[in-house]
Amino acid sequence: MSTEVRAPAAGRTTYEFRVLTLPRTTSGGDVRKLLTDEAEYGRWELARSRLYIGGTRKVWLRRKVLRVASTL
């Protein structure tokens, strides 16, 4: 699993991405439960999903990066 933060363009929202690679032995129900938990507790949303020929799945999740302005 990896996480990256991309630099924002002018006036655009910045997203943090997380890539999950799931083996072919992972059942569809387990994948659904994993993604539901990530969305509910980690505030991730599904950006992209790919199913490869061998059965391996690659899932890209994203969430907004909140920039907090200093009040000091």
Q: Are 59 and 49 in contact (CB under 8 A)?
A: yes
How do beta strands 15-22 and 2-5 pair?
A: antiparallel
Domain extents in the chain: 2-64
Model confidence at 68, pLDDT cuts 50, 70, 90, reads confident
Q: Does the structure show a pLDDT above 80 at 39?
A: yes
Q: Does the structure show a pLDDT above 90 at 57?
A: yes
- Of residues 51 and 5, more confidently modeled: 51
